[in-house]
Amino acid sequence: MPPQLQSQKQSGPRILQGDLSALSPAVREFVDVNVTLCQPDSIHICDGSDEENRAILTQLEEQGMIKKLNKYENCWLARTDPRDVARVESKTVIVTQDQRDTVPTPVGGGVSQLGRWMSQDEFDKAMGQRFPGCMKGRTMYVIPFSMGPVGSPLSKIGVELTDSPYVVVSMRVMTRMGTAVLSALGTGEFVRCLHSVGCPLPLKKPLVNNWPCNPDQTLIAHIPDRRQIVSFGSGYGGNSLLGKKCFALRIASRIAKEEGWLAEHMLILGITNPAGEKKYMAAAFPSACGKTNLAMLCPTLPGWKVECVGDDIAWMKFDKQGNLRAINPENGFFGVAPGTSAKTNPNAMATIVKNTVFTNVAETSDGGVYWEGMDQALPEGVSITSWKNKPWSSQDGEPCAHPNSRFCTPADQCPIIDPQWESPEGVPIEAIIFGGRRPEGVPLVYEAFSWQHGVFVGAAMRSEATAAAEHKGKVIMNDPFAMRPFFGYNFGQYLSHWLSMADRPGAKLPKIFHVNWFRKSPTAGFLWPGFGDNIRVLDWMFRRVNGVAGAMPSAVGYLPCSESLNLQGLQQDVDLDELFSLDQEFWQREVEEVRKYFTTQVNDDLPNEVARQLELLQQRVKQM
C-alpha cells in the first residue's frame, strides 16, 4: 500500500534519523527553508549505511513501489507510471538573468535547440504554484552526496532534499552518499538540490503502479548563479537523481567554465597494449551509439586490455604538469537495458546480477529480468510480464521492456573496472573521441588536424535518430559534443571555453578523433563489425598518440594509411575502400548542413575560429 496520511497534529516534522543541529549552518538553513516551504511530516538525514539502505528497500517493497527479483542477489524492479519514463527536455530549463547567458539567440528569433531558458520571475511563479505543501504526509530525506571520490580535489558536493525513497536508494548507487560526505563538506560550498514527486498526502487520485508523480506539473530547473537545482513532478532517474545530468553536466559545465576545467558527457576508458603500455581516452557519443559498450569493450585483438573508468560523464582538468586529468564523478552506471546482452556487452551483464535497481524492464516468472536484445532463450515454462505489468508474448506487437528502461548498478561491480577509477587526482587523458551514427558518407575513423579543428569536429557532430514524434523513419540530428540537452550555458561560450584550453601554458592537449561504427553499404548492411573489433581503431589511435602509426591527410582529417589498421584475425571481410571513401557531393552537403546549423542556432555567438574551421573544410572539400 502507498503511504497514507497520519492524522496526529505536530509542531514541525518528526526527526526519524540524524541530528539537525549537527549540520553546518548553510545546510541547516537549506533544510529549514524547504521544510517550511514543502511541509513534510518527518525528516530523515541519510547516513549511507547498509542498514539504512535495507530499511528503505523494505519500505519501498511494502509500499508496492519495487519488487524483489529472487533470481539475483539484492536486485529490485520498479515499474513507473507510464507517463513518467524519461527525461523531459521540454520541461527542463536554465534560469539566468539574461536569455543569452543560457542559449544563443537563434536567427529570426526561433526556438533554440541548445537549451531552454526561463526568466527569474517565471521561475518564482512556477515554484509558488508547485512547492508549497508538496511533501505533506511524506518524509523529507536529506541526502549529502559527493560527485567524485570523497575528498578528491576534482570532486564537488551536493545536498539533495527529496520525498522519494526510490531516489534515496538510487543516489546511494550513483553517488558517494552519507555521513562521510557531511564530514568532508564541513562548512564548505555545496550545490542545493530540491526534488519532490509532487504528490502530497492524502492523494487526490490513485497512483498508477504505486508510482507517485505529477506529470502535468513536471519542471526541472537549474539556477547556476545560485548553484541550485529544483525538480518537481517526476520520479524518473534523469529528472530526480539530481547528481546525474542536472549537477554533473548542466551545473558542473557552468562551474567548469568559471574555474577553467571541462564537465563533459563522455566515457573514460583505460587501454593497455600487448607490451603493457597504458593510456586513457575519453569519448562522447549521442544516445544509441554504443557508449557503454565501448567503455566496457572486450577486445578481439590478442594481448590488448580495456578497463572502464566511467561510462557517461567525465570531469577533466589540467594539472600543474599540463596533463588533462579526468575523474568519473559518478559511483554507478545508469544504463539503458534494451540492447544489452552477452554479445554486445558481457561486462555490463556481469555487473548487474546483484545490488541493482531495474526500472521498467520486463520480469520473468522465475524472478529474473528481460528486455529486447537480451538474446537469451527463456527456459521452458518461464513466462514474461511486461513493464506495464501485463502478461507478454512476442506476438503482442509492442516491446516487453520500455525502450528507455534502465539498470542502476554499482560501478565497482564491473569486472573490468579500472584500478585507478577512484584515483583522487584523476587519470591522464591522451585522446578524445567524438562519434555518431552515420549510415553514409563518414569514414570509420579520422584524426583532427589540430585542437581547434577537433573542437570544430565536436561542434559539428551529427547522428541518426528516430524522429520521435511521427516515426517517419530516420533523421540526422545535430548533437554537438553529445551535449545538446545538457549545456549549462550558452553553447557559443562553451566552444570559446574549449578553444581556450589551447592557450593554457604547458598544456599537453590530447589528440582528437572522430569515429563512425555505423556506416552501411547500400546492399549489405554495416561495413564494420563493431563491438570487440573496435579495439582495432583504438589500437591505431594509441599508436597515433605515440607518433608511430601511419596516417594521410584528407579533406576531413588524417585517415589511417593502408595497412596501418590491424585487421589480423578479423572474422568478416571488410571493404576498407568503401569504409574510408569520401564522396565530394556528400561532404558539400555536410558543410552546408553544418553551416545552416551554426548560422541559425549559434548565430552571433559562434567563435571566429570555429567559423574559420568550417571555411577550411569547405576549401578542402572543393579540392577533392
Contact 347, 66 (CB under 8 A): no
Q: 3-class SS at 207?
A: coil
- Residue 144 sits at φ, ψ, to 5 deg, of -80, 130
Please report how the helices 451-459 and 491-500 are oriented relative to each other, as an axis angle in degrees rounded to 10.
160
Cell readout for 333 is 552506471
Alpha carbon 546 to its chain centroid, in Å, reads: 30
Q: How many CA atoms lie within 13 A of 415 on its CB side?
A: 12
- Residue 35 sits at φ, ψ, to 5 deg, of -65, -45
- CA dist 553 and 562 (Å) reads 13
Taking each continuous run of H as one helix and of E as one strand, the counts in the chain are 16, 34
Residues in Cβ contact with 264 at an 8 Å cutoff, skipping those fewer than 6 apart:
249, 253, 282, 284, 313, 314, 315, 316, 481, 483
- CA dist 360 and 403 (Å) reads 9
Contact 327, 312 (CB under 8 A): no
Q: 3-class SS at 421?
A: coil
- CA dist 504 and 262 (Å) reads 13
Contact 188, 209 (CB under 8 A): no
| Closest residue by Cα to residue 209 from 386, 84, 402, 80 | 80
Strand 66-68 and strand 76-78: pairing?
A: antiparallel
Contact 189, 207 (CB under 8 A): no
Contact 382, 366 (CB under 8 A): yes
Write out the catalytic residue numbers.
289
CA distances from 506 to 256, 322, 348 (A): 19, 5, 38
DSSP letters along 572-612, please?
Answer: S---HHHHH---HHHHHHHHHHHHHHIIIIIGGGS-HHHHH
- CA dist 277 and 270 (Å) reads 10
* Total residue length of the chain: 624
Residue 140: what residue type? Answer: M
* SS3 readout for 46-94: CCCCHHHHHHHHHHHHHCCCEEECCCCECCEEECCCCCCCCCCHHHEEE
Contact 52, 204 (CB under 8 A): no
Residue 590: what residue type? Answer: E
